[in-house]
Each structure stands twice: as structure tokens, then as C-alpha cells.
């Protein structure tokens, strides 16, 4: 009976359940009764989400009223077809958006050239429905204060139509005309001139439609797109002190390939339209009688040798016409040109390969390799593919960007007859037959719930190379071009809560990741799956841990439609497999996929990709359990108890600067801590985090004071997480990903910078700990070490350890000459403390090269008192700093600054900002090379700033005992 109830809910009722509250409640009672009665399901159902809106008494309250905007007047916008390639245009302007009820009530056909759109909106495309409604002044900015509560949640329960009129470019004469949708959400019917071209299902599957037979070559065409909302949008939980954080999603998980976090998580509120709409570009593409289908470039290095690379090109060639054709397929990579003739039957698609065994020129000598950040440069090549017909007319062309690199993995596998063995796995070589090697369903468990895959029956174990490394036990190591990569990075829960995924918006975040010395981004549950995301990862050297759209096993709901999920996954693999940054595919967050999806997705990765690991779980399988996510009162605990293996999630609260807080809420809500803080995710900031700020630095009497003190806690906690992993480099640790590095909206938790691109203590703590050659003092054993996570060596370097009192007087020192090997940890000595120590003191490590140039400087404020506080900082005199500026040759936007403390008082936690000279407003983004550092009396330190200088710009400094001062004017 219970299984029958659940089957009814999944297959028939849930698709329309939000329209009938009584039915929801009745079925939920039955479902809950069933769960309590028996444990009969393969997926434990723990989080169904809310079944009715929460009580108004539990909603967050602001001290100021929400100001509703004035709706903009409807105006005529000409259609713009933006040329992007010889045969490719993007619909860049002219879209309109209306509710489905407007279409049904109209007395005209939507395809009538004079259709009345007076009550429609000028639409933002690409963008979501909510993007348009905010842009048009219908609703206020949902990111500010509690404005989001003023936007009705009915937006995600409403059908919408997009409409545009356009003319075919003159270049389209005699061509086949294609309409290509890079991404819609959640489902859409596509109509042109009264004819339905087809349907798109799922947020991550392309829609590609041959419109040739219904297009008007002359005059206006009407393209109309009917957007359907998700079947199970759920009801958002609104965070507040009274309601808590909520349940992390709910019913929306049933719908599979969509933005599941938009129902609301503990780091983003419920997005009122659930991000439905045309959220990626729409193309008009022109081809001849044949077109290129999903080309793939595979590069193979004869590792460990990297002096040459074999390049393999594969592409589908589709004959669109009604007669057989002889076509010439050409490929060009810089000076290398290959050609091949193929015969393709009408309506058929043929796979064409260019292999080095056939084309010797595809063995490239001394290739420029693509490397992750800090291991080398991010070299990228272009392949230009062209199809020409018998008359030498170009039928289709496509440019593919790729990198020459090869992935391999060290991991534990259960082998027949041998049991558990550590192996190196190179998919490019092992998957030549396009069949998966590993059985993740019948996996082998070891201690503590950890597990590993089994080698499938009949697979030759010689496809794997057995290795011995007892220090790494079963933990995964990722290798690029034969070199171990120590993975340092973080999770992106979603790139943006409203899916603003323009390059202009996203690129600064990637620059900040690169400058913070990170090298990996996890695309959590696949919610940042779009072209711009992967392109920027390629360019900035960010390896991508790429999830698909299943979330936490045993907590979140499973999905209703396996076929929809798998169709989206297959299209994503084909579409993005040429990006060198993607390092593995993973089906879900914290768990294994259901058997049907697991087996087929594993097979898709082998057949459609063949160059990457299919990692079946983000925890436990050759990884460790994730967490913790809360603040640890003793950062040494990371070293003693937490640092081991590869951890895909570990985090701590991270309140931004006061200036950033003022951009996300009204002044009245900023202090004391209010409901609006909680709506912006502050729950995880309470208790130990707030107590640490108070106990270490004293009570705060203002927002500015609290946020200033918070940055010291942020810096220390974020540095400690990465330094703890550093302390065991390749000796039980291989990677740490923060939960999170990137905020999807203005938040107070789990971030290294704020949504407005401001960098604060968390960012600079990561930047310091993750520098490629890094001097550090382990918090658990006081070993002074150098961690080198680069491929460079350092001979005869000088390592120094100094201790200073609060007046800046040196009270101890030690020095040693060391050789620093590439990609390894070097222990220098154990730093012994003097018997007599002041209550507060500074330990500073410096590493210089043979020429005396500073390589790394790292400093730790410590306390000798049992109370362990730094309230003595509050008694320091205010410091004024001196600044000199030199221009960096050939870098117009890069400024080199020398900062000097000429006083007799240390300057603590110095923060620098670039500002407009006339207004004092921050310039963001601005890229500083250091922050939250100390200048002792008489000391100088140099740093760089990179920011656009289109107007008069000044640099300001502030710190714990540095009142904001204008240092220098840049023109």
C-alpha cells in the first residue's frame, strides 16, 4: 500500500499538486504515515519541504518599509540580430514577455504581425522572468533587505510567453535556417509563424530546430516561446530568527535538471520565479545542406613525456538534404590543416574522425600545454571545422576552443583476485572501447563507511597501473599532464540567484579566484552549467568538479523523470566536453545516483567523453566525508582532527565589510544584528562565531566595529582550513574545497568575497594560505614548513622565524637555509617559544630566495594568556601611514604601492581600497595583492593594485587601529 501511495504521488499527482492545497496535505499525511510505518524505499524521503506558507509571525521583519518601484512604460524596441560568426546570429534585442493569460484572452493570433502587446513587458533575454519584471520596475530588487518577500511566489506557477518579430538576414538566402536555444527553464514549446517547431525540456538541454520550411525569407517572422514552470516548485522557507534556516530545498528536487536551490537553501532565499525563462542566448544559424554536429577534440600526451601531443578530432556530419552528398570536412589548428571526403546519405549523420595515425601533422611537437592555476599557463588552441560541398561552397563552419592537456587519477579500486589496490587511471587510454571500467553499484566498502569502485567483470586490469602510496590510503589524487595537482578551491552553489551569467558579471569572480591562488571550482548540483562559466574556468585555470542535478542522498527527494535527467546530462557532456578545465563528472551531491541513472550516466561519460573520471559520489568514494560547516573555536582542530583526504565541502561563517553590509540592507537594519541579517543567511554566524569575535576583541558598539573585528576571525579561520591541508601535503591530503567560495546573492556566510566583489578577511586568508610557495607555522605541532604547490624549485632559500611584542620589538629569531623541491612539503624546523612571552605577540615567517627577494611572508598574532584574547589591540594608538607609488611598466592598470609605518605603533590588519576621489565610493572590483597585514614600526611593504582608472582614483587604507585615510591619488 505504501509503495502504491508513493508511486501515485511521483507519477500522477505531483505535477499539478501545487494547485490543490487540500490534496497536498492529504497525500503528505499518507506519505509521512508510510515512511513511519516501513522503510521500503531505495531513496529515504526526509525533506519534502513546506506544504503551506509559514506563519506570518515567523517571517523576517525589516525596520523600514519596502519601497515598490514605478513600472516602466512599454516602448518599442527594434529587433537586433547580433552577428557572432559567419553563419551565426544572436537575438540581442526586441523580445517581449507576457503572461499566458494575455495570450488566451487576446482576440488576435499571437502570430499576427499587429498582435497587441501593450500589456506585455520589454523582456531581458538572456534572463529569467523575474529579471525582466525587476528590470521593468514591476518588483523591487530582491537582493536588498527583505524585498524578496514583496514578490509573489505565483511567478513560478504561471505560464509565460516570449515573443519577437524578426527578418532573416540577406545572408540567409538559399540557406537552411536553424533556431538554436542555448538554455530555457523549465520546459518550452517553440513556435514560428504559427507552426510548432518542437519542445525543449529541462534547464540544461539545447533546443535545435530546423525552421527552413516555415521561415519567411522576406518580411517579418514571429517567434513565440511558451515557457512552462516546473511541475513541483515547492514553497520557500523564509529565514528568520524565529523560523530558523529552513529545510534546504524540497519538492523542486523532484523535477531534476533545473535550479533546485532556487526553492530556497540556507545560502539563498526562494527565487520567486524559480529562474524560469529564456536564460541563455537564442541563435539564428544559417547552413547549407550539411551541418557539423558536436565535434570533439581529444589530446593524448605520451606521459611522462610532454614534448609532443597527438590530437584526435571527431565530429558528426549531418546531411539535411533529400539526396546523397559527397562532402569535404576540413579542420585547421593554426598551421595544421587536415581534410577528408565523406559520403553521407540523405537525412543521415556520419561520424568523421581525423586521427594521428592517418594524419601525421596531428602529432604536434612541443605543444603549449594547459595547466591549472599556479602550475603553468592556460594555453588554448582553436580548431576551425568547415564542411564544403561538391561545388566548394561552405555549408557549415564551427570554431572549437580546446587545451592540450591530459588527465589521470590516483585512486583505490577493488580488483578481482587482488582485492583493494591503489592504481593510476588514465581514461584517455583506458576508455578506447568507450565502455566504463568501474562498477559503482556493487562497490567495495572499507572502514568508516568509505568505499571504492570495483573493476567490472571482464575488464582487463592492465588498463590500470598499480602503484604504492600507503600515505594517501584510498584518497583521490587528480593529475594534469602527469603532475599531481593539490586541489584548492570552493563550491559555487549557483553563479547568481537570478542567473545573471554574463561575462561582464562573472569574470571578476574568476579573477578573484585566480588571484587568491585557487585552482578548482565545484559546480554544485550543476547549477552553473553554461558556456560562460566553463570558458572563464578555462581562461583562469580553474579545474571544474562538475556535478549533475541530484542532491543529498537520504535527505533530499529523488527525481520523477529519469529520461529527462539523462537527456539533459548527455547533452551537457556533448556540449562542454572540449573544455580543458572540466576534470570529472559527478552525478549528485553527497550520495550515489539511483541504479538506473548510475549505470547509464557512467556509460554516457565513457562513450560521449572518454577522457575524464566519472566520480560516483562527492563524498566517501575515494574521498572523505564532507564538513564541518560551522565555526571552530580552536582553528588548531583543523590540523589535529579534520585534515585528511580530499574534502569537497568545508566552511565557516564569513561576514563581509560594513560597506558591503550597507549595500544589502537599510542602515536601520544593519545594527544591532537584525532579522534582515538572518534573511541573508546569518544563522550559521551565531553562537561560536559571534562569541569568538566578542571574546577575542571585545564587545562591538556599531556595525563598523563588529565587521572590522570579524575580519580578523575570518582571516584566521580561512587560512587555518587551507594550512591544515597544506601541513599534510601528499601525506594523507590531496584537496580541499570550501563550502563556499562564491555567494549567489548578498550573504553573510560561506564566502571569500561578497556578492559586490569586495574582498575582505576571508579572501586574503585564502590568498595567503594558498600561495604557490608558502611559509607556514602548523598550529598543532609548531613545525615551520614551506609548502610548494607549484612545479618550480627554490635552491638555497632563507627561512626566518621572528617573534615580536606588541610594541614591535623583536624578542626571538631563528634562520635556516633550505632547498624547496617542486610540488612538495619541506620541513624547516620546530619553532620553539621563549619561556617568557608577552600577553600578545606576533610570529612572523619569511622566505627569501638566493637574491634576497621575498617569496613568502606570513604572520600570526598569538596570545600567551589563558583567556586567549587580543583586547590589547583596543589600547593601541591610531596610526597614519605613508604611501609612495611607482607605475608598473607596460601595465596601464597595475599600480605598485609602497606603504610605510613611520610611527612607533604597529598598524594592525591593514585593509586597502580603491575609491573614486571625488565621492569616496569604492571601486569594485579592485585587485590588491595583499590585505589584512601588519606593519610594525618603521616597516615598509609593497603591493600592487589592478583596477580600471577611467576617472580620478585614490587609494585608502584602514585597519584595526588605522582610521580610514586617503593615501595617494592616481590619475
Residue 31 has pLDDT above 60, yes or no: no
CA distance 214 to 316: 25
pLDDT for the residue numbered 828: 98
pLDDT for the residue numbered 887: 65
pLDDT for the residue numbered 35: 37
**Residue range 150-157: mean pLDDT, rounded:** 98
Residue 171 has pLDDT above 90, yes or no: no
pLDDT for the residue numbered 582: 98
pLDDT for the residue numbered 3: 31
Query: DSSP labels for 514-548?
Result: HHTT--EEEEGGGTT-SHHHHHHHHHHT-EEEEEE
CA distance 720 to 718: 5
Portion of the chain with pLDDT greater than 70, in percent:
94
Phi and psi, residue 486, nearest 5°: -80, 110
**pLDDT per residue as tens digits for the range 351-409:** 999 999 999 999 999 999 999 999 999 999 999 999 999 888 999 999 999 999 999 99
**pLDDT per residue as tens digits for the range 544-597:** 999 999 999 999 999 999 999 999 999 999 999 999 999 999 999 999 999 999
In contact, 327 and 388? CB cutoff 8 Å: yes
In contact, 449 and 408? CB cutoff 8 Å: no
**pLDDT per residue as tens digits for the range 906-927:** 999 999 999 999 999 999 999 9
What Cα–Cα distance (Å) separates residue 679 from each residue in 264, 274, 710, 745, 936?
11, 18, 19, 11, 40
**Residue range 138-154: mean pLDDT, rounded:** 98
**pLDDT per residue as tens digits for the range 700-754:** 999 999 999 999 999 999 999 999 999 999 999 999 999 999 999 999 999 999 9
> Within 270-328, where are the H helices?
none
Residues ≥6 apart with Cβ < 8 Å to 889: none
In Å, the largest CA–CA distance within the chain is 92
Portion of the chain with pLDDT greater than 90, in percent:
88
**pLDDT per residue as tens digits for the range 245-300:** 988 999 999 999 999 999 999 999 999 999 999 999 999 999 999 999 999 999 99
**pLDDT per residue as tens digits for the range 94-135:** 999 999 998 989 989 999 999 999 999 999 999 999 999 999
pLDDT for the residue numbered 9: 34
Query: DSSP labels for 239-252?
Result: PBTTTBS--S--GG
**Residue range 470-488: mean pLDDT, rounded:** 97
Phi and psi, residue 536, nearest 5°: -70, -35
* Spatial CA neighbour of 911 closest among 870, 947, 943: 943
pLDDT for the residue numbered 20: 38
pLDDT for the residue numbered 885: 84
pLDDT for the residue numbered 891: 62
**pLDDT per residue as tens digits for the range 854-886:** 999 999 999 998 778 999 999 999 999 999 987
pLDDT for the residue numbered 687: 83
**Residue range 195-203: mean pLDDT, rounded:** 98
Of residues 20 and 210, more confidence is placed in: 210
What Cα–Cα distance (Å) separates residue 119 from each residue in 74, 97, 100, 805?
8, 9, 12, 70
Residue 800 has pLDDT above 50, yes or no: yes
3-class DSSP state of 702: coil
Phi and psi, residue 102, nearest 5°: -65, -35
Residue 15 has pLDDT above 50, yes or no: no
- The grid cell for 335 is 598551421
**Residue range 182-189: mean pLDDT, rounded:** 98
Average pLDDT, the chain: 93
**pLDDT per residue as tens digits for the range 709-721:** 999 999 999 999 9
**pLDDT per residue as tens digits for the range 657-715:** 999 999 999 999 999 999 999 999 998 667 899 999 999 999 999 999 999 999 999 99
Residue 4 has pLDDT above 70, yes or no: no
Alpha-carbon torsion 567, 573, 575, 581, what sign?
Answer: positive
Q: How many helices (H) and strands (E) does the chain have?
A: 16, 48
End-to-end CA distance of the chain: 76
Quote the pTM value. Answer: 0.94
Amino acid at each position: 500500500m505504501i509503495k502504491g501511495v508513493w508511486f501515485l504521488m511521483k507519477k500522477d499527482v505531483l505535477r499539478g499538486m501545487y494547485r490543490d492545497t487540500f490534496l497536498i496535505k492529504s497525500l503528505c499525511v499518507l506519505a509521512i504515515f508510510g515512511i513511519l510505518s516501513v522503510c521500503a524505499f531505495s531513496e529515504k524521503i526526509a525533506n519534502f519541504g513546506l506544504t503551506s506558507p509559514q506563519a506570518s509571525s515567523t517571517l523576517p521583519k525589516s525596520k523600514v518599509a519596502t519601497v515598490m518601484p514605478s513600472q516602466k512604460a512599454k516602448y518599442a524596441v527594434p529587433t537586433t540580430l547580433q552577428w557572432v560568426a559567419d553563419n551565426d546570429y544572436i537575438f540581442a534585442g526586441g523580445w517581449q514577455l507576457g503572461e499566458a493569460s494575455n495570450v488566451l484572452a487576446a482576440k488576435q493570433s499571437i502570430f499576427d504581425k499587429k498582435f497587441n502587446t501593450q500589456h506585455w513587458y520589454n523582456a531581458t533575454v538572456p534572463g529569467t522572468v523575474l529579471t525582466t519584471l525587476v528590470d521593468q520596475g514591476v518588483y523591487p530588487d530582491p537582493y536588498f533587505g527583505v524585498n524578496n518577500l514583496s514578490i509573489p511566489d505565483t511567478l513560478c506557477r504561471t505560464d509565460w510567453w516570449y515573443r519577437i518579430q524578426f527578418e532573416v538576414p540577406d545572408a540567409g538566402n538559399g540557406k537552411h535556417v536553424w533556431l538554436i536555444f542555448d538554455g530555457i527553464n523549465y520546459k518550452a514549446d517553440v513556435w514560428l509563424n504559427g507552426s510548432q517547431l518542437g519542445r525543449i525540456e529541462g534547464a540544461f538541454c539545447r533546443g535545435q530546430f530546423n525552421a527552413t520550411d516555415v521561415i519567411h525569407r522576406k518580411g517579418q517572422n514571429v517567434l513565440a516561446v511558451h515557457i512552462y514552470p516546473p511541475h513541483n516548485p515547492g514553497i520557500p522557507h523564509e529565514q528568520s530568527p524565529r523560523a530558523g534556516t529552513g529545510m534546504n530545498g524540497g519538492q523542486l528536487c523532484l523535477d531534476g535538471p533545473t535550479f533546485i536551490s532556487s526553492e530556497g537553501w540556507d545560502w539563498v532565499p526562494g527565487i520567486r520565479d524559480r529562474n524560469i525563462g529564456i536564460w541563455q542566448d537564442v541563435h539564428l544559424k544559417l547552413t547549407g545542406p550539411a551541418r557539423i554536429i558536436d565535434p570533439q577534440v581529444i589530446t593524448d600526451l605520451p606521459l611522462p613525456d610532454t614534448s609532443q601531443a597527438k590530437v584526435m578530432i571527431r565530429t558528426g556530419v549531418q546531411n539535411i538534404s533529400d539526396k546523397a552528398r559527397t562532402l569535404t570536412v576540413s579542420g585547421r589548428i593554426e598551421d595544421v590543416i587536415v581534410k577528408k571526403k565523406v559520403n553521407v546519405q540523405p537525412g543521415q549523420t556520419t561520424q568523421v574522425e581525423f586521427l594521428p595515425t592517418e594524419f601525421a601533422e596531428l602529432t604536434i611537437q612541443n605543444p603549449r600545454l594547459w595547466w591549472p592555476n599556479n602550475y603553468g599557463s592556460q594555453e588554448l588552441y582553436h580548431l576551425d571545422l568547415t564542411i564544403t560541398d561538391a561545388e566548394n561552397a561552405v555549408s557549415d563552419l564551427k570554431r572549437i576552443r580546446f587545451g592540450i592537456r591530459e588527465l589521470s587519477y590516483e585512486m583505490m579500486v577493488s580488483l578481482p583476485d587482488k582485492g583493494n589496490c591503489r592504481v593510476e587511471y588514465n581514461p584517455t587510454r583506458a576508455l578506447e572501447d568507450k565502455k566504463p571500467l568501474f562498477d559503482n553499484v556493487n562497490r567495495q566498502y572499507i572502514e568508516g563507511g568509505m568505499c571504492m569502485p570495483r573493476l567490472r567483470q571482464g575488464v582487463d586490469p592492465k588498463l590500470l597501473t598499480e602503484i604504492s602510496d600507503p600515505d594517501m590510503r584510498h584518497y583521490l589524487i587528480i593529475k594534469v599532464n602527469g603532475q599531481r595537482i593539490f586541489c584548492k578551491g570552493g563550491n559555487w552553489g549557483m553563479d547568481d540567484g537570478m542567473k545573471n551569467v554574463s561575462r561582464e558579471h562573472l569574470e571578476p569572480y574568476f579573477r578573484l579566484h585566480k588571484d587568491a591562488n585557487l585552482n578548482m571550482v565545484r559546480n554544485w548540483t550543476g547549477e552553473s552549467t553554461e558556456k560562460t562559466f566553463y570558458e572563464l574556468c578555462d581562461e583562469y585555470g580553474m579545474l571544474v568538479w562538475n556535478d549533475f542535478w541530484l542532491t543529498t542522498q537520504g535527505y533530499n527527494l529523488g527525481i520523477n523523470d529519469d529520461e529527462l535527467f539523462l537527456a539533459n546530462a548527455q547533452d551537457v557532456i556533448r556540449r562542454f566536453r572540449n573544455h580543458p578545465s572540466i576534470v570529472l563528472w559527478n552525478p549528485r551531491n553527497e550520495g550515489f545516483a539511483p541504479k538506473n541513472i548510475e549505470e547509464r550516466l557512467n556509460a554516457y561519460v565513457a562513450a560521449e567523453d572518454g577522457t575524464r573520471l566519472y566520480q560516483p559520489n562527492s563524498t566517501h568514494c575515494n574521498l572523505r566525508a564532507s564538513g564541518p560547516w560551522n565555526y571552530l573555536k580552536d582553528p588548531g582542530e583543523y590540523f589535529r582532527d579534520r585534515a585528511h583526504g580530499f574534502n569537497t565541502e568545508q566552511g565557516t561563517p564569513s561576514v563581509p565589510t560594513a560597506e558591503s553590509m550597507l549595500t544589502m540592507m537599510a542602515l536601520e537594519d544593519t545594527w544591532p544584528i537584525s532579522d534582515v541579517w538572518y534573511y541573508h543567511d546569518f544563522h550559521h554566524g551565531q553562537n561560536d562565531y559571534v562569541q569568538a569575535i566578542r571574546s577575542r576583541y571585545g564587545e562591538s558598539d556599531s556595525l563598523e566595529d563588529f565587521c572590522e573585528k570579524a575580519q580578523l576571525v575570518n582571516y584566521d579561520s580561512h587560512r587555518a582550513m587551507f594550512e591544515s591541508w597544506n601541513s599534510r601535503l601528499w601525506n594523507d591530503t590531496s584537496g580541499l574545497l570550501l563550502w563556499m567560495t562564491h555567494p549567489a546573492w548578498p550573504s553573510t556566510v560561506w564566502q571569500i568575497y561578497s556578492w559586490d566583489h569586495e574582498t575582505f578577511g576571508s579572501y586574503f586568508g585564502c590568498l595567503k594560505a594558498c600561495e604557490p610557495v608558502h611559509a607556514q607555522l602548523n598550529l598543532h605541532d609548531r613545525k615551520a614548513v614551506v609548502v610548494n604547490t607549484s612545479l618550480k624549485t627554490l635552491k638555497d632559500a632563507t627561512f626566518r622565524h621572528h617573534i615580536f611584542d606588541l610594541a614591535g620589538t623583536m624578542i626571538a629569531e631563528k634562520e635556516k637555509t633550505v632547498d624547496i623541491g617542486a610540488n612538495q612539503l619541506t620541513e624547516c624546523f620546530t619553532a620553539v617559544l621563549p619561556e617568557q612571552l608577552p600577553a600578545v605577540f606576533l610570529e612572523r615567517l619569511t622566505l627569501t630566495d638566493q637574491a634576497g627577494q621575498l617569496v613568502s611572508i606570513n604572520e600570526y598574532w598569538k596570545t600567551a594568556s589563558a583567556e586567549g584574547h587580543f583586547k590589547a589591540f583596543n589600547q593601541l594608538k591610531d596610526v597614519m601611514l605613508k604611501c609612495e607609488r611607482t607605475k608598473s611598466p607596460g601595465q596601464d592598470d597595475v599600480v605598485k604601492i609602497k606603504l610605510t609605518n613611520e610611527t612607533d605603533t604597529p598598524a594592525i590588519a591593514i585593509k586597502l581600497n580603491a575609491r573614486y576621489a571625488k565621492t569616496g565610493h569604492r571601486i569594485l572590483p579592485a585587485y590588491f595583492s595583499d590585505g589584512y597585514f601588519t606593519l610594525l614600526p618603521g616597516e615598509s611593504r609593497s603591493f600592487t593594485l589592478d583596477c580600471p582608472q577611467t576617472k580620478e582614483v585614490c587609494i585608502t587604507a584602514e585597519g584595526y587601529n588605522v582610521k580610514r585615510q586617503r593615501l595617494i591619488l592616481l590619475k
